Amino acid sequence: MTGARRKCGFTLVSVMVGISLAMIASVAALATFQVLRDSYAVTADSVLIEERGQRALAIIAHAVRQAGWIPAHVSMSAAHPAPDAPIEGRDDCGQLSSQPQMQCTRSGVAASDALLVRVSGSGLPTDNTLPDGTMSDCSGYALPATATPADDAPLPYHAATNLFYIGKASDGVPQLLCRYPTRQGNRVLTNAYTAGTLVRGVETMQLRYGVDMDDDGNPDRFIPARTVQELGEGAWHRVRAVQISMVVRGDRRTAQPYPVTVLQLFPSQADGDASVDSSFQPPARSPVRRRVFSTTIRLRNPSPCMEAKC
């Protein structure tokens, strides 16, 4: 008879060591995946915030630079009413009335300001009330040189008004909106307006206006809308530039509450006007990322109507 065969196999110790090594490798792979996923989320959210902020500033900057232009065919005779200022603003302005003027009926979201811009576009050679497609307003629709006037009324100086303000979507997310005239057959209606969303995630918008106090064509100081109004009825005609500061948030919630720090919107000034609404306090334990976007825009078409003329 042959001897008993040698039996081969794994000992309990070797099995336990193998299981331990497999668990360590799994935990390491899971941790690496979590780090990569969080890094991707941070990068994607940063790109989203950057895109939103730059787009919001570009839309408003386009409108402000276009503001105040009066087409050559519109009369500036003595019998023609004086033109309105190219832009107007209101502090802490949210819900608006149906009128094209600045009529605020509710406080702004996070004390956001509102900006009204009076704009004209370019019309067809045969009919200035029909756009030629070269210029647009905040809605993206082509803007004609002038709106259709009422019977026996003089031609309006500006074809449309665009009003920028901050509102909330149905899901509670703050957003930049614009109210613009309704169209009918490519013609701008002067008695009907539509509001549309431009950019989601804009939590607050604060504005300051560069006022020319000595008529040299350059802004002497930047002040909020309430201070401009205190200067008198014709003060808006003296505005030569607009400072815009926005806080834009992302969509992805952070794993840990994002550090809440006071965001500085405007630099401080010695006259004291800058101390109000110059910073933004995010909600406590806010789980989203935020950034401040700021710019200064100079008006290309300052008002032809100064206090000495109007």
Question: Does the residue 112 lie in any domain?
Answer: yes
41-82 pLDDT, tens digit per residue, is 777 888 899 999 999 999 999 999 989 888 877 766 555 677
Question: Does the residue 174 lie in any domain?
Answer: yes
Question: Does the residue 135 lie in any domain?
Answer: yes
Question: Does the residue 76 lie in any domain?
Answer: no
203-238 pLDDT, tens digit per residue, is 999 999 999 988 888 898 999 999 998 998 789 999
Question: Does the residue 2 lie in any domain?
Answer: no
Side by side, the strands of the sheet bearing 87-90 are: 87-90, 114-119, 160-168, 174-184, 187-200
Paired strand residues for 221? 211
Helix-strand-coil split of the chain, %, nearest 5? 25, 30, 45
* CA gap 224, 209 in Å, rounded: 6
Burial of 200 (0-12, 13-18, 19+ CB in 10 A): middle
* Sequential pLDDT tens for the chain (310 residues): 455 566 666 777 777 877 888 888 888 778 776 766 666 677 788 889 999 999 999 999 999 998 988 887 776 655 567 788 899 999 998 866 655 567 787 888 889 999 999 988 888 888 888 888 888 888 888 888 887 766 666 677 888 889 999 999 888 899 999 998 888 877 887 777 888 899 999 999 999 999 998 888 889 899 999 999 899 878 999 999 999 999 999 887 776 555 667 888 887 654 545 445 788 888 777 788 889 999 999 998 888 775 445 5
Q: 209-240: buried (b, 16+ CB within 10 Å) or exposed (e) per residue? A: bbbbeeeeeebebbbbbebbbeeeebbbbbbb
* Residue 50 main-chain phi, psi, to 5 deg: -60, -45
* CA gap 218, 72 in Å, rounded: 25
SS3 21: helix
**Domain tally for the chain?**
1
Q: Which of 287, 298, 226, 291 is nearest to 264 (CA)?
A: 291
The range of the structural domain enclosing residue 252 comes to: 37-70+85-298
Tell me how long the chain is: 310
Say what the pTM is.
0.82
Pull the structure tokens for residue 107.
């406080």
Question: Does the residue 30 lie in any domain?
Answer: no
Element (H, E) at 298: strand 290-298
Question: Does the residue 80 lie in any domain?
Answer: no
Residues in Cβ contact with 6 at an 8 Å cutoff, skipping those fewer than 6 apart:
none
